Amino acid sequence: MKDPVCGAQVDEKSASATSSYQGQKYAFCGTDCKQKFDRNPQRYASASHGSQQQTQGTHQGERANR
Ligand SMILES: [Zn+2]
């Protein structure tokens, strides 16, 4: 399984952090990546589905407030 945040290969069973979003499970190399994902799951989740249609009206530019 691929860590959607940093792209590292993570074994789901030995992952230090996992999360699920929209019925799909995600594994992370560490809690850092999980927190990033949890903060903005749609950004990382949609990155793995190339063919997902984009909702209109959503703000595209992410605010770099952190
Ligand atoms: Zn990671």
The domain limits of the chain are: 1-48
Query: Residue 42 is inside which H or E element, if any?
Result: helix 41-48
Neighbouring CB atoms inside 10 A of 62's CB total 8
Task: Give the distance, in angstroms, between the CA of residue 22 and the centroid of all CA atoms in the same chain.
Answer: 11
**Distance in Å, CA 60 to ligand 1 centroid:** 23
pTM: 0.67
Low-confidence ranges of the chain (pLDDT < 50): 48-54
Q: What is the pLDDT of residue 52?
A: 45
Q: Residues lining ligand 1 (ion), CB within 5 A? A: 3, 5-6, 8, 29, 33
Cα–Cα distance measured from residue 22 to residue 43, given in angstroms and rounded to the nearest whole number: 13
**Distance in Å, CA 38 to ligand 1 centroid:** 13
**Distance in Å, CA 4 to ligand 1 centroid:** 7
Q: What is the pLDDT of residue 62?
A: 62
Q: What is the pLDDT of residue 64?
A: 61
